[in-house]
Amino acid sequence: MSKENQDDGLQCFAEGDSDTKGWFARQWKIWPKRADETKTTNLSFLYGGILAYRKAHQLQPEMSNDLRQNIEWLDRHP
């Protein structure tokens, strides 16, 4: 996992506007499918956004089952 990508995702979610946060929310729900063909589905980047979401809301975002399994693994192996 790329720490740089994770940091970028965290920053993008934390500092992003409502459109950016909306993209994250849509992407998490359908991963590995793309919410927008021009945007990344990079797991490290999305994980960074999830970390920012957790910090801001004190709960898990809605995720696809595929993404949830990967995030649970990443949580156990930082």
**Burial call 62-72: b when 16+ CB within 10 Å, e when fewer:** ebeeebbebbe
- How much is the pLDDT for 78? 81
For range 46-59, the mean pLDDT:
98
Q: pLDDT tens for residues 28-50?
A: 999 999 999 999 999 999 999 99
What residue spans define the domains of the chain? 3-76
Q: Are 62 and 28 in contact (CB under 8 A)?
A: yes
In terms of Cβ atoms closer than 10 Å to its own Cβ (0-12, 13-18, 19+), residue 37 is exposed
Whole-model pTM? Answer: 0.95
